[in-house]
């Protein structure tokens, strides 16, 4: 597996450099891209967040750096064990495993940060080291994937096999897309809507691979969407609640997030948000709730965000600011269970394509 070889090589290289410093009687040090906010820039050409050129040095001769230097070395060696043995670990488990080695993390936030440092240093994302968060999204649709995980190597699975959806866990993320009959990916915020679109065979009608995001998409789900977009040439549409939070779920899929700016191949710049927009709320007479202060503050924040500076996005934000109301995806049910399938999605997808 090239992924595995590549990871092992990069990790071994780190170790070699450190050993060579020690053999030369020098304090080992590591230079890695600076992940602080002042080095995260929005690249308007590619339409996504990237790291700038600033570097940071972690020097074991500096007493302030010794601890994080050692933590980074341990995480690198743990990652190498995972890759070598074809094993996976949750972020939480890494935090606990450190105790077995006498490595001290204050809390999981600290070990998560060091894992991000390792990603930065190697240019390899933690999923390739076998490190995953606990949460996951689901997928359903006419896609055949081929597993690479131990015990399932080469086995193919059709993602319509479970009518309840298929979990996007570590095994599926490392699987390879083989073929599809679908024409698009439709990512959906809520589980209720996802189930309805399966049950009403929307996946067949619209030729859509359905993805249940369940709020902000986990990074691994964004990777899988991007992989399907690239390997199977499927355009991506995102259907969320009609509020600043829903809008931002779509935006992170499109343009990435600041805290994953060091990870390549996550953003999907040509993904499209199909609503629920403020305009849809009016057009389809959806039942609404008033925006609360938190919602209104969030709109103001988004208006300042470099990802929302285009005229299209500004207009969407302004429309919500004027409306001061929000609506959930499920609100379409007021027009009958199947209104969203019969009316709304055909309207929006025709328009988007």
In the complex, which residues of this chain contact a copy of itself (CB under 8 A)?
A: 87-90, 92-93, 95-97, 99-100, 132, 134-136, 138, 147, 149-152, 157, 161-172, 190-192, 195-196, 199, 201, 287, 328, 330-337
Instruction: Report the alpha-carbon distance of residue 216 to residue 99 in Å, rounded.
Output: 31
Instruction: Report the alpha-carbon distance of residue 288 to residue 353 in Å, rounded.
Output: 28
Minimum CB separation of residue 257 from a copy of itself in Å reads: 22
Where helices occur in 85-218 by DSSP H, the ranges are 91-100, 108-122, 170-173, 191-199, 202-205
Residue 29 and residue 21 in contact, taking contact as beta carbons nearer than 8 Å: yes
Q: Vertex 244, ends 242 and 245: CA angle to 5°?
A: 90
Q: Minimal CA–CA distance to 54: which of 66, 64, 40?
A: 40
Pick between residue 80 and residue 196 the one whose CB is nearest to a copy of itself.
196
Pick between residue 122 and residue 137 the one whose CB is nearest to a copy of itself.
137
Minimum CB separation of residue 97 from a copy of itself in Å reads: 4
Residue 78 and residue 70 in contact, taking contact as beta carbons nearer than 8 Å: no
Minimum CB separation of residue 346 from a copy of itself in Å reads: 19
Pick between residue 7 and residue 220 the one whose CB is nearest to a copy of itself.
220
Pick between residue 28 and residue 214 the one whose CB is nearest to a copy of itself.
214
Pick between residue 65 and residue 189 the one whose CB is nearest to a copy of itself.
189
Those residues whose C-beta lies under 8 Å from the C-beta of residue 2, and which sit 6 or more positions away, are none
Q: Are strands 208-212 and 138-140 parallel, antiparallel or unpaired?
A: antiparallel
Q: Among this protein's residues, is 147 annotated catalytic?
A: no
Minimum CB separation of residue 290 from a copy of itself in Å reads: 14
Pick between residue 135 and residue 176 the one whose CB is nearest to a copy of itself.
135
Give the full edge-to-edge strand order of the sheet including 184-188: 166-167, 138-140, 208-212, 184-188, 236-239, 272-275
Please pick, among 27, 95, 96, 284, the residue that the annotation labels catalytic.
96
Minimum CB separation of residue 147 from a copy of itself in Å reads: 7
Indicate the length of the chain as a whole number: 353
Minimum CB separation of residue 88 from a copy of itself in Å reads: 6
Calculate the alpha carbon distances from 132 to 126, 169, 221, 257, 301 in Å: 7, 8, 11, 18, 30
Enumerate the active-site residues: 96
């Amino acid at each position: 597996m090239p992924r595995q070889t590549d990871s092992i090589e990069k990790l071994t290289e780190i170790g070699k450099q450190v050993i060579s410093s020690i053999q030369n009687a020098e304090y080992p040090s590591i230079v890695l891209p600076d992940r602080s906010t002042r080095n995260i820039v929005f690249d308007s050409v590619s339409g996504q967040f990237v790291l700038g050129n600033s570097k940071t040095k972690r020097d074991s001769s500096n007493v302030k750096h010794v601890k994080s230097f050692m933590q980074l070395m341990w995480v690198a060696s743990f990652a190498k064990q995972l890759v070598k043995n074809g094993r996976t670990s949750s972020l939480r488990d890494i935090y606990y495993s450190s105790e077995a080695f006498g490595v001290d993390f204050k809390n999981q936030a600290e070990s998560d940060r060091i894992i991000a440092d390792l990603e930065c240093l190697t240019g390899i994302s933690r999923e390739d080291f076998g490190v995953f968060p606990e949460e996951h999204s689901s997928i359903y649709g006419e896609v055949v994937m081929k597993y690479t995980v131990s015990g399932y190597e080469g086995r193919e699975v059709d993602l319509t096999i479970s009518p309840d959806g298929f979990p996007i866990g570590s095994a599926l993320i490392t699987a390879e897309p083989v073929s599809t009959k679908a024409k698009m990916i439709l990512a959906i915020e809520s589980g209720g809507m996802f189930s309805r679109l399966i049950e009403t065979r929307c996946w067949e009608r619209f030729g859509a691979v359905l993805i249940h995001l369940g709020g902000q998409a986990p990074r691994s789900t964004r990777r899988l969407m991007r992989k399907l977009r690239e390997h199977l040439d499927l355009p991506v549409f995102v259907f969320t609640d009609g509020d600043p939070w829903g809008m931002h779920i779509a935006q992170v899929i499109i343009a990435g997030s600041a805290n994953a700016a060091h990870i390549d191949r996550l953003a999907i710049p040509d993904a499209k948000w199909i609503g629920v927009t403020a305009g849809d709320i009016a057009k389809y007479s959806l039942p609404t709730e008033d925006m609360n202060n938190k919602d209104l503050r969030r709109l103001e924040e988004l208006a300042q965000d470099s990802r929302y500076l285009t005229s299209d996005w500004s207009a969407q934000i302004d429309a919500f600011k004027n409306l001061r109301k929000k609506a959930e995806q499920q609100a379409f049910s007021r027009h009958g269970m199947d209104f969203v399938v019969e009316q709304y999605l055909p309207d929006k997808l025709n328009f988007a394509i």
